[in-house]
Amino acid sequence: MLRHADWYRTLDDKRVACDLCPVACRLLDGRDGPCGTRGNRDGHMQLLTYGQVAAAGLDPIEKKPLYHFHPGSEIMSIAASGCNLHCRFCQNWQLSQGKAPGGQSFTAQQIVDRALAEKSIGIAYTYSEPLVWYEFVSDTAALAREAKLKNVVVTNGYLQAEPLRRLLPLLDAANVDLKCMDDDFYRGVCKADLQPVLDNLRLIHEAGVHLEITNLVIPGYNDSPDQLRRLVDFVADLDPDIPLHFSAYHPAWNFDAPATPVATLEKAAGLAAERLPYVYLGNVRRAGAADTRCPGCGRMVVARSGMSVRVDLDASGDCPDCGRALPFRLA
């Protein structure tokens, strides 16, 4: 499906400047962006993966992870291959780095029709990096919104502000990776800058999009008490009601640091609990690590075990015992 990109400028000598993400590529005619989703063809930025769905499935919303957004529901999840970051530890590198088998071609309307047929609450753009699949995501999200479906992105948050502002009115929820509060980590391990991610987290939250944050904890790289405390402080200063997920890393792609011990995640959760009431552990089996208790009275309000979820909130999403308002989106 031939389509030009939304965010580029043609320069002299048929070069193009991409304005979609902070990598800010300048591409000669015939060259592709490092994200694998767009390339310069005769002085225009052509989309290489528009409508090419490399992975699709109906997932529990908890798998995104989103724990405070329609808990216990299922959402149709789709992805193209490609990513604008090249994190050496990527846990999904075959897809993000374009090494997975090629996808199947869909129109935006076909995706919406399939989500409706599967009785999904909406569409999650996930698995790889959806924001570099921007044009297909925004076309599909507009149709999904008309069909009263929810739009969810699971993203590294690495986009220019203007394209993000344009997309936000179509989004209902986002889980954003905040990998570390050190710019050196972003530069050295991900070939990116930290600041755009922090700015975009603020933009997403201020736009009223439901926001959860995930931190993949890698031993020896981003798990010092100082690093964890600065990350927790950023989230708490943004809004202490934002759920924070600490996720266990496993050696993958170009990274062979040992897998994250459960004790490291517990240490992170202990630090976070000083300022955040909704802290969860992912990619590990540990009783209670994924449950939500009311911070007011301690009552279990959402019990999660594997992908089984028991929701015990009142009709407005608040605590059924003490009536405390809880930050859940149910509508």
Yes or no: say if 54 and 222 are a contact pair by the CB < 8 Å rule.
Answer: no
33 binds ligand SF4 (CB under 6 A): yes
Indicate the helix (H) or strand (E) that contains 134: helix 134-146
Least CB distance to ligand SF4 at residue 244 (A): 27
Closest to ligand SF4 by CB, 14 vs 205, is 14
153 binds ligand SF4 (CB under 6 A): no
Residue 246: name the closest of 326, 179, 328, 300 by CA: 179
Yes or no: say if 163 and 200 are a contact pair by the CB < 8 Å rule.
Answer: no
Least CB distance to ligand SF4 at residue 18 (A): 3
Yes or no: say if 8 and 18 are a contact pair by the CB < 8 Å rule.
Answer: yes
Q: Copy the structure tokens of residue 325.
A: 């308002």
> Stretches 15-23, 57-65, 260-268, 306-314: which one binds ligand SF4 (CB under 6 A)?
15-23
N- to C-terminal Cα distance for the chain? 35
Contact residue for ligand SF4 among 73, 77, 81, 84 (CB under 6 A)? 84
DSSP state of 4: B
41 binds ligand SF4 (CB under 6 A): no
20 binds ligand SF4 (CB under 6 A): yes
Write phi, then psi, for 12 (nearest 5 degrees).
-70, 165
Residue 27: name the closest of 75, 273, 42, 290 by CA: 42
- Cα(236)–Cα(243) distance, integer angstroms: 10
Closest to ligand SF4 by CB, 25 vs 121, is 25
Closest to ligand SF4 by CB, 20 vs 290, is 20
Yes or no: say if 137 and 129 are a contact pair by the CB < 8 Å rule.
Answer: no
> Stretches 16-24, 73-81, 182-190, 301-309: which one binds ligand SF4 (CB under 6 A)?
16-24
Q: Copy the structure tokens of residue 290.
A: 């994924």
**128: three-class secondary structure by DSSP:** coil
304 binds ligand SF4 (CB under 6 A): no
Least CB distance to ligand SF4 at residue 134 (A): 8
Contact residue for ligand SF4 among 14, 31, 34, 94 (CB under 6 A)? 34
Q: How many CA atoms lie within 13 A of 73 on its CB side?
A: 22
Q: Copy the structure tokens of residue 306.
A: 């594997």
> Stretches 32-40, 146-154, 163-171, 244-252: which one binds ligand SF4 (CB under 6 A)?
32-40
> Stretches 30-38, 95-103, 190-198, 263-271: which one binds ligand SF4 (CB under 6 A)?
30-38
192 binds ligand SF4 (CB under 6 A): no
24 binds ligand SF4 (CB under 6 A): yes
Q: Where are the beta strands (DSSP E) in 82-171?
A: 104-105, 122-125, 150-155
Closest to ligand SF4 by CB, 33 vs 282, is 33
Contact residue for ligand SF4 among 90, 124, 132, 276 (CB under 6 A)? 132
The footprint of ligand SF4 (CB under 6 A) covers: 18, 20-21, 23-25, 33-35, 38, 84, 132
